[in-house]
Amino acid sequence: MSDTLTQSELSTAGADGVTGVAIDLIGVTKRYPGQRRAAVEPLDLHIPPGEIVILIGPSGCGKTTTLKMINRLIEPSAGTIMIGGQDATRRNENQLRREIGYVIQGGSLFPHLTVGQNIALVPGLLSWDKKRTAERVDELLELVGLDPARYRRRFPRELSGGQQQRVGVARGLAADPPVILMDEPFGAVDPITRQRLQDELLSIQEELHKTIVCVTHDIDEAIKLGDRILLLSEGGHVEQYDTPENILAAPANDFVADFVGAGSSLKQLSLSRVSDVELRKPTTATVGEPAAEVLDRAQAARDEAVIVLDDRRRPRDWIFLRELRHQQTVVDPGDDHILTVDRRATLNDALDTMLTDNHAGAIVTGRRDEYLGVIDFTAVTDHMMATTSQAQADRDQQQQDQQQQDQQQQDQLGQDQLGQDHEAPDPEAAD
């Protein structure tokens, strides 16, 4: 078997667009020197290709140890780790790490290298030529929402925390690895930036379908990002490994229920996306339009405010009519104060934004920040009520099906019993 994953394993998407590969942990254990108890007791885990699996659990339960054993930053004490069908524990570890993206909190960029040089690190180690590397750097900067011309020559200190984190993600993706490991990737940024970075990761994943293993402390982040969540307790003990839906609806034990915590119906808000909800379409205006015409349109529609878009239909302002009356033409406020939510954001994120906005709603954007509409409280409550009654109807149906099945089994048992009685030899006759 060759020591590197083949080019097709590395970069060619399967028929379903999946570029990730499966990861299997088989009896993987870690005992640090001098520790009485293993940090990770024998752990068996199957991570399907193209999924995001989130590792979560209380402090010290072995999340980071488990993550770092996958790229062998920490050597397992026992067990096997299969990545894309190859035994990672037998691979050359430097080679292995070049094929696994690694993203950690704050991006951990090299301060003396430019953004472009930071992203180009692994392609450099893989001896990519200059042209290919430069193209890849620009492509990745675009992908993580940073204008290459503006950012590729900057140094990390010239970027905000969120921008540094974006570059960290770009660096993790640089050599198109099938597997990406993330350790608290969005832990060091403010809540709004964090939400944006999560949305960007989901949008990148929609395109690339990598296998992503991510450690977090934040249950809402786990519910939002995870296809599956691995909830660990001390010693890397698996309490539940399941979809976010099942973890919320059917916690395996009291530990899981306590960890998920109260308010699990509120957490259900993290399972629904803005795109699941019908958006309101208030009056819009384009920068430069005569204000009087816009006022007429808004009044006819009984709107109290209008959304101002630029020539690429990106939202610039959400202005009340009383303010618009002082303008001749619709103006661009010229700053980036406007809060928006991406259509992939969760309803939880949208509520957060709505509560900080004085329009009792949030502007929703799609690809390339293009305006899509407005989400408001009524839409969120309607959606939640519909989801709850659908879930209740599903549960009732399941119960009915189960009862029917039980009844059929009972009938069958009865018939079998009758049949046996009928065929049983007559002890008298034998005499």
Ligand X SMILES: Nc1ncnc2c1ncn2[C@@H]1O[C@H](COP(=O)(O)OP(=O)(O)OP(=O)(O)O)[C@@H](O)[C@H]1O
C-alpha dist (Å) from residue 168 to 55, 100, 333, 380 = 20, 14, 32, 34
Distance CA 274, CA 352 (A): 12
Distance CA 127, CA 183 (A): 27
Distance CA 5, CA 149 (A): 33
Cβ closer to ligand X: 161 or 235? 235
Stretch that binds ligand X, among 43-51, 57-65, 292-300, 319-327 (CB under 6 A): 57-65
Distance CA 394, CA 122 (A): 49
Residue 138: name the closest of 123, 157, 158, 156 by CA.
Answer: 123
Q: Which of 62, 172, 226, 251 binds ligand X (CB under 6 A)?
A: 62
**What's the min distance (Å) between Cβ of 413 and ligand X?**
49
**Applying CB under 6 A, does 216 fall inside the site for ligand X?**
no
CA 207 and chain centroid, separation: 13
**What's the min distance (Å) between Cβ of 70 and ligand X?**
12
Q: Which strands, in side-by-side order, build the sheet including 52-56?
A: 100-104, 179-183, 211-215, 52-56, 228-233, 237-242
**Applying CB under 6 A, does 36 fall inside the site for ligand X?**
no
Stretch that binds ligand X, among 62-70, 276-284, 303-311, 393-401 (CB under 6 A): 62-70
**Applying CB under 6 A, does 77 fall inside the site for ligand X?**
no
Cβ closer to ligand X: 32 or 110? 32
Cβ closer to ligand X: 49 or 62? 62
Q: Which of 14, 17, 27, 60 binds ligand X (CB under 6 A)?
A: 60
For 375, the token pair is 């989400």
**What's the min distance (Å) between Cβ of 275 and ligand X?**
32
Residue 101: name the closest of 22, 10, 182, 187 by CA.
Answer: 182
Residue with structure tokens 């570059």? 167
**What's the min distance (Å) between Cβ of 49 and ligand X?**
25
Residues 6+ apart with CB under 8 A from 428: none
Stretch that binds ligand X, among 56-64, 271-279, 331-339, 372-380 (CB under 6 A): 56-64
Residues 6+ apart with CB under 8 A from 276: 347, 383
Q: Which of 18, 25, 39, 307 binds ligand X (CB under 6 A)?
A: 39
**Applying CB under 6 A, does 75 fall inside the site for ligand X?**
no
**What's the min distance (Å) between Cβ of 100 and ligand X?**
18
**What's the min distance (Å) between Cβ of 212 and ligand X?**
17
Identity of residue 27: G
Q: Which of 3, 6, 27, 32 binds ligand X (CB under 6 A)?
A: 32
**Applying CB under 6 A, does 27 fall inside the site for ligand X?**
no
Q: Which of 53, 61, 96, 222 binds ligand X (CB under 6 A)?
A: 61
Residues in contact with ligand X, total (CB under 6 A)?
11
Q: Which residues bind ligand X (CB under 6 A)?
A: 32, 35, 39, 57, 59-65
